[in-house]
């Protein structure tokens, strides 16, 4: 062991050299090839820097002149968020029970999981355009969209909580001869309630954010106001709306964090 | 000494004291009022609401069976969607490194840079991808560039925030040790801080890629590239069978994305 | 030679932690500093390499005044002061070799540091030292896979890689079991002899201090109240080092001042 050892190499991250080089070259090749073949109109992009100047020039100072419109849009977003949270959370409870492996029989379990996966996989904006086509423009499409969005998150988290509960309490209730729903109310609800309240508040906050977005495709709320302002090149009004959206999101995030900390 | 049951009577039991009861009642009342206010003042044509289930049923009927004649185009654009998400994530990861460095209290050079870092994070995080996309479509015109930049702008805040928090939570003792060896600031970061945040770095990058895959499916609806354009086109022309195919394709893509990111997480961490 | 004169360290506006302290360490002696928690041992050590900023006074190492150094000059001076820590302070996710080479960071280029292209003589020196302390087989092992004693050996080698003119050790054995702790103390003593290096060790364990060091410095609440050969540390001296409270000392200060 005493021969002069004066070289050292860090052991590579991927031990097998063939796989290592395949991964490196693959990644490099992907970025070069895709980067080179992307359909990009460079002249139009270069043009953009001038436009950016004009847009930001037009956006400053932000205009709060039509604050009536802004407030109406916001109240509508708030209503959408409240109703969607209510509906979404109520629907999440049965779906979460369906999707909890320890309480639901297998076919129902798969159905519950399927509903959650579908609700989670589609971005609210996609859900929104479908609802807009089905039930028309306006806040109702927004509410339906965010109900789906809420189910995707709340039902998933709640199902995970139900799967973690202490089953001894359920057995104790069953042993006392309690009927099915009494068992659920006395042995399972108390265990999932704190999580459920936390999730509800989080989801209200989350729905308020999302409601600003689904409006862009016609589902009501402040997003619709913003999309209109953009469409009419009213960049100063659009900036005002964006500032208000950011402000409200920060406030609602703060409030929801505070409440969850007190409950938690 | 009186026992509790004697004090309160043996036949009455209630779970909550009267103050708690009032508190709970007040919270319920506030919630109920908020819901009542929302229902009563929201601008909804109630006739449409009652009609909604049949409208939805009608829609799904028209979607069936899905029409796969344009599958080749759909798959090509789906690939473009993946590329938008991947490129945007890669750029965002690179750009969020300096921002995280500025926004972490223990690495930022001074208070001004700390606030600069936090300002960047808050701005980026508070504006939704779609709103960023509206802006960049107006600037760079419709297409993938606007999409990539929009997703990148939103992701910088997300990655930067989580990475900044990871930097703030590192074990400070190796930093002290390397400072004691006389190493420069940059080398201390490279040897004592970077190795400690690497696991978080990879986890956050993978998580964000997964989210970005979802986000990039809707960019097309505001003209910023990806599968959304085809979906919008199919819906606008009432070509519901094709819209159904696109929706299924998105579902498969998102689920595949989740599988891939779960695999990467297991391999790397 | 390390020469400390009139050193004062005060945190905020409170009582000084180090009170007009003088200490000189010559040649290659192994010196231990003992004293109860809060006596200022750790602060004293950290003032020497300026991990803690002294309030006033002077610290001279082989003719260089350390207290006034800034930026690059301070870093250059720190290279000459090795330090071993109680918690080892290794970078857990790096290999032992990288941890050891991090002692050379002050000497190599940034590029070499990032690419892990260490100079040949540094690698040879690292292997020699690692073999000397018995951890050479772990060169490619991640530091968090090692036992406490092995980790502290990595810490010692890292400090020696700096090619230091003095070695500071802040409670190097406090996180180790008794047997390993004796091994590390023996190692520090032997290395001091082999490398002709003065070593300054903060230590709680008085028995170890007596056995492994040439000179014992006893501190109480910011003052040195004992400084002699281990053999002279009798029960009376021990009592005066480990008794009393900061409050009692403060009232003595007031009496002395009036």
Residue B171 resides in a domain: yes
**Residue A184 DSSP one-character state:** I
Nearest residue of B to residue A250 by CA position?
A: B126
| Residue ranges of domains in chain A | 67-263
Q: What is the CATH number of the domain that holds C91?
A: 3.40.50.300
pLDDT for position A209: 87
* C145: closest CA of chain A, how far (Å): 15
Q: If 0-12 CB within 10 Å is exposed, 13-18 middle and 19+ buried, where does residue B258 land?
A: middle
Residues 6+ apart with CB under 8 A from C111: C117
* C218: closest CA of chain B, how far (Å): 25
**What whole-number distance in Å separates Cα of residue B158 and Cα of residue B171?**
23
Best probe of the A interface among C99, C113, C140, by most A CBs < 10 A, is: C140
pLDDT for position A28: 95
Q: Indicate the helix (H) or strand (E) that contains B145.
A: helix B144-168
Count of C-beta atoms within a 10 Å radius of residue A52: 15
Beta strands C223-228 and C199-202: pairing type? unpaired
Tokens of C247: 């409050």
Alpha carbon of residue A163 to chain centroid: 23
pLDDT for position A117: 92
C-facing residues of B in 173-212 (CB < 8 A) are 173-174, 176-184, 186-188, 190-192, 195-196, 198-199
Chains that touch C (3 or more CB pairs under 8 A): A, B
Interchain contact, B55 vs A134, CB within 8 Å: yes
Position A84 pLDDT exceeds 90: yes
**What whole-number distance in Å separates Cα of residue A85 and Cα of residue A79?**
10
A31 vs B contacts (CB less than 8 Å) = 87, 90
> What backbone torsions phi and psi does residue B104 show, to the nearest 5 degrees?
-95, 130
pLDDT for position B7: 57
A38 vs B contacts (CB less than 8 Å) = 80, 83, 87, 144
Beta strands C30-34 and C215-220: pairing type? parallel
CA-closest candidate to residue B159, choices B119, B129, B202, B196: B202
**What whole-number distance in Å separates Cα of residue C250 and Cα of residue C242?**
16
pLDDT for position A1: 47
SS3 content of chain C, % helix, strand, coil (to 5): 45, 25, 35
Residue C2 resides in a domain: no
Q: Are B159 and B152 in contact (CB under 8 A)?
A: no
| CA dihedral (B76, B82, B88, B93) positive or negative | negative
pLDDT for position C248: 61
Pick from C83, C98, C105: CB nearest B183: C105
User: Which residues does chain B have with pLDDT short of 50?
Assistant: 1
Interface size, chain B vs chain C, as Cβ–Cβ contacts under 8 Å: 84
Residue B19 resides in a domain: no
Residue B264 resides in a domain: yes
Q: Are C221 and C39 in contact (CB under 8 A)?
A: yes
| Per-residue pLDDT tens digits for A87-103 | 999 999 999 999 998 88
With an 8 Å Cβ cutoff, is C117 touching chain A? no
**Residue C95 DSSP one-character state:** B
| Per-residue pLDDT tens digits for B69-85 | 889 999 999 999 999 99
Whole-model pTM? 0.86
Interchain contact, C49 vs B180, CB within 8 Å: yes
Q: Are A222 and A215 in contact (CB under 8 A)?
A: yes
CA atoms within 13 A on the CB side of B98: 6
Interchain contact, A10 vs C127, CB within 8 Å: no
Average pLDDT, rounded, for chain C? 90
Residue B131 resides in a domain: yes
**What whole-number distance in Å separates Cα of residue C88 and Cα of residue A27?**
38
Q: Are C208 and C169 in contact (CB under 8 A)?
A: no
Interchain contact, C124 vs A5, CB within 8 Å: yes
C22: left (phi over 0), alpha (psi -120 to 50) or beta: beta
With an 8 Å Cβ cutoff, is B169 touching chain A? no
Domain count, chain B: 1
Q: Indicate the helix (H) or strand (E) that contains C4.
A: strand C2-10
Higher pLDDT pick, C244 / A200: A200
pLDDT for position C201: 95
CA-closest candidate to residue B222, choices B125, B104, B163, B139: B139
Homologous superfamily of domain range A67-263: MetI-like (1.10.3720.10)
pLDDT for position A137: 85
What's the average model confidence in pLDDT over C155-170? 94
pLDDT for position A180: 80
Give percent above pLDDT 70 in chain A: 98
A-facing residues of B in 89-148 (CB < 8 A) are 90, 122-123, 126-128, 130-131, 134-135, 138-141, 143-145
Interchain contact, C124 vs A9, CB within 8 Å: no
Radius of gyration of chain A (CA): 26
Position A176 pLDDT exceeds 50: yes
B35 vs A contacts (CB less than 8 Å) = 82-83, 86
Domain count, chain C: 1
Pick from B56, B135, B143: CB nearest A39: B143
Q: If 0-12 CB within 10 Å is exposed, 13-18 middle and 19+ buried, where does residue C12 land?
A: exposed
Pick from B177, B184, B188: CB nearest C89: B177
| Per-residue pLDDT tens digits for C75-87 | 999 999 999 999 9
Interchain contact, A5 vs C95, CB within 8 Å: no
pLDDT for position B219: 92
Interchain contact, C95 vs A7, CB within 8 Å: no
Interchain contact, A135 vs B48, CB within 8 Å: yes
Residue B14 resides in a domain: no
Residue C22 resides in a domain: no
**What whole-number distance in Å separates Cα of residue C103 and Cα of residue C106?**
7
Residue C246 pLDDT level (bands cut at 50, 70, 90): low
Residue C128 resides in a domain: yes
Higher pLDDT pick, C14 / B87: B87
| Domain interval for residue C87 | 27-53+71-257
| Domain interval for residue B88 | 82-268
Pick from A44, A139, A144: CB nearest B141: A44
**What whole-number distance in Å separates Cα of residue B240 and Cα of residue B253?**
20
What's the average model confidence in pLDDT over A153-160? 92
| Per-residue pLDDT tens digits for A101-133 | 888 889 999 999 999 999 998 999 999 988 988
CA-closest candidate to residue C157, choices B181, A35, A107, B101: B181
With an 8 Å Cβ cutoff, is A7 touching chain C? yes
| CA dihedral (B168, B157, A153, B198) positive or negative | negative
CA-closest candidate to residue B178, choices C130, C203, C98, C143: C98
Nearest residue of A to residue C136 by CA position?
A: A1
pLDDT for position C258: 54
Tokens of C199: 């070593």
The interface predicted TM-score (ipTM) is: 0.88
- Residues pairing with C217 in the sheet: C33, C227
Alpha carbon of residue B149 to chain centroid: 16
CA-closest candidate to residue C238, choices C218, C210, C252, C209: C218
| CA dihedral (A240, A242, A243, A247) positive or negative | positive
**What whole-number distance in Å separates Cα of residue C100 and Cα of residue C115?**
15
Q: Which H, E and C letters describe C210-246, residue by residue?
A: HHHCCEEEEEECCEEEEEECHHHCCHHHHHHHHCCCH
């Amino acid at each position: 062991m005493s021969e002069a050892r004066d070289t050292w190499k860090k052991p590579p991250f991927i031990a097998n050299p063939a796989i290592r080089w395949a991964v490196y070259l693959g990644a490099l090749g992907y970025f070069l090839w895709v980067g080179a073949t992307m359909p990009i109109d460079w002249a139009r992009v270069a043009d953009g820097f001038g436009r950016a100047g004009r847009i930001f020039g037009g956006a400053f100072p932000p205009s709060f002149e039509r604050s009536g419109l802004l407030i109406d849009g916001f109240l509508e977003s708030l209503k959408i968020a409240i109703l969607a949270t209510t509906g979404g959370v109520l629907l999440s409870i049965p779906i979460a029970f369906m999707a909890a492996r320890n309480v639901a029989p297998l076919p129902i379990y798969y159905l519950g999981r399927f509903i959650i996966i579908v609700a989670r996989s589609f971005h609210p904006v996609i859900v929104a355009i479908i609802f807009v086509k089905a039930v028309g423009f306006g806040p109702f499409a927004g509410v339906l969209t965010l109900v789906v969005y809420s189910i995707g998150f709340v039902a998933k988290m709640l199902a995970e909580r139900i799967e973690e509960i202490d089953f001894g309490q359920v057995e104790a209730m069953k042993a006392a001869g309690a009927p099915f729903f009494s068992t659920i109310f006395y042995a399972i609800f108390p265990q999932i309630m704190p999580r459920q309240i936390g999730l509800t508040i989080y989801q209200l906050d989350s729905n308020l954010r999302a409601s600003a977005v689904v409006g862009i495709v016609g589902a009501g709320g402040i997003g619709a106001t913003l999309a209109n302002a953009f469409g009419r090149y009213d960049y100063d009004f659009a900036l005002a709306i964006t500032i208000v959206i950011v402000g409200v999101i920060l406030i609602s995030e703060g409030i929801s964090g505070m409440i969850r900390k007190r409950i938690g | 000494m009186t026992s509790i049951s004697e004090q309160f009577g043996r036949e009455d039991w209630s779970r909550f004291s009267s103050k708690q009861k009032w508190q709970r009642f007040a919270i319920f009342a506030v919630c109920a009022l908020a819901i009542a206010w929302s229902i009563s003042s929201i601008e909804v044509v109630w006739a449409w609401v009652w009609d909604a289930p049949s409208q939805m049923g009608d829609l799904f009927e028209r979607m069936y069976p899905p029409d796969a004649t344009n599958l080749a185009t759909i798959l090509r654009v789906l690939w473009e969607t993946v590329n938008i998400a991947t490129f945007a994530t890669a750029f965002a990861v690179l750009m969020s490194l300096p921002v995280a460095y500025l926004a972490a209290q223990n690495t930022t050079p001074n208070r001004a840079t700390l606030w600069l870092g936090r300002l960047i994070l808050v701005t980026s995080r508070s504006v939704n991808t779609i709103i960023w996309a509206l802006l960049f479509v107006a600037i760079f015109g419709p297409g993938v560039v606007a999409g990539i930049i929009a997703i990148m702008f939103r992701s910088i805040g997300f990655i930067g925030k989580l990475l900044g928090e990871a930097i703030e939570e590192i074990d400070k003792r190796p930093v002290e040790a390397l400072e004691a060896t006389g190493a420069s600031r940059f080398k201390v970061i490279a040897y004592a801080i970077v190795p400690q945040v690497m696991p978080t770095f990879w986890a956050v990058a993978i998580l964000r890629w997964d989210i970005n895959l979802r986000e990039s499916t809707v960019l097309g609806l505001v003209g910023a590239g990806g599968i959304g354009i085809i979906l919008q086109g199919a819906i606008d022309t009432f070509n519901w069978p094709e819209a159904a195919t696109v929706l299924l394709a998105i579902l498969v893509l998102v689920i595949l994305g989740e599988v891939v990111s779960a695999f990467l997480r297991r391999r790397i961490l | 030679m390390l020469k400390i004169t009139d050193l004062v360290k005060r945190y905020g506006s409170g009582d000084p932690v180090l009170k007009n302290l003088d200490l000189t360490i010559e040649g290659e002696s192994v010196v231990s500093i003992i004293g109860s928690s809060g006596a200022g041992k750790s602060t004293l050590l950290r003032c020497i390499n300026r991990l803690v900023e002294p309030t006033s006074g002077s610290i001279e190492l082989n003719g260089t005044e350390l207290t006034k150094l800034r930026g690059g000059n301070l870093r250059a001076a720190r290279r000459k002061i090795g330090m071993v820590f109680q918690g080892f302070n290794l970078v857990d996710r790096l290999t032992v070799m990288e941890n050891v080479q991090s002692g050379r960071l002050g000497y190599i280029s940034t590029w070499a540091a990032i690419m892990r292209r260490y100079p040949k003589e540094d690698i040879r020196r690292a292997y020699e030292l690692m073999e000397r302390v018995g951890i050479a087989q772990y060169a490619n092992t991640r530091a968090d896979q090692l036992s406490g004693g092995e980790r502290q050996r990595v810490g010692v080698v890292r400090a020696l890689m700096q090619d230091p003119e003095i070695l500071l050790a802040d409670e190097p054995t406090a996180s180790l079991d008794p047997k390993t702790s004796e091994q590390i103390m023996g190692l520090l003593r032997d290395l001091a002899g082999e490398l002709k290096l003065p070593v300054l060790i903060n230590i709680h364990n008085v028995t170890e201090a007596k056995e492994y060091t040439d000179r014992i410095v006893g501190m109480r609440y910011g003052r040195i109240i004992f400084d002699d050969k281990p053999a002279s540390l009798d029960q009376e001296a021990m009592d005066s080092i480990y008794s009393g409270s900061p409050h009692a000392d403060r009232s003595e200060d007031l009496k002395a001042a009036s």
